[in-house]
């Protein structure tokens, strides 16, 4: 069975020559990947990043933008590695949402 990310040769429309300047948050996602996968930290291999991107379901995969897939995958990888726990993540997200409501972000 062909996996959905394995799209060589599949029918598709015209190539839209879109370009966009990457938003700061997107560049930071890229930076996180570079740092976490470096030899010193070794918290992620590029192969794990790819595998976890591929694990995103087909609908979600195609709806998400490139760096949205990356941050989803980075988070999954860190959870799998035990570098973060799901409690820590949940607490942190709640904290971010609280700070956002309070106008602190």
Minimum CB separation of residue 72 from other proteins in Å reads 7
Shortest distance in whole angstroms from residue 57 CB to other proteins? 14
Give pairs for 83-91: CB < 8 Å, separation 24+.
Answer: 83/43
Q: Exposed, middle or buried, 39 (CB in 10 Å: 0-12/13-18/19+)?
A: exposed
Return the number of other C-beta atoms located less than 10 Å from residue 69's C-beta.
21
Residues near other proteins, by CB under 8 A: 1-3, 5-25, 27-32, 34-36, 41, 43, 45, 47-48, 50-51, 53-54, 62, 64, 66-68, 71-72, 74-75, 78, 80-81, 83-84, 88-89, 92-93, 96-97, 100, 104-105
């Amino acid at each position: 069975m062909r996996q959905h990310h394995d799209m060589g040769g599949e029918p598709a429309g015209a190539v839209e020559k879109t370009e966009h300047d990457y938003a700061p948050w997107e560049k930071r996602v890229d930076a996180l990947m570079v740092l976490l996968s470096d030899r010193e930290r070794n918290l992620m291999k590029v192969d794990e990043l790819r595998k976890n991107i591929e694990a995103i379901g087909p609908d979600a995969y195609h709806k998400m933008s490139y760096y949205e897939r990356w941050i989803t995958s980075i988070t999954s990888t860190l959870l799998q590695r035990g570098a973060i726990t799901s409690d820590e993540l949940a607490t942190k997200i709640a904290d971010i949402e609280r700070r956002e409501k309070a106008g602190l972000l």
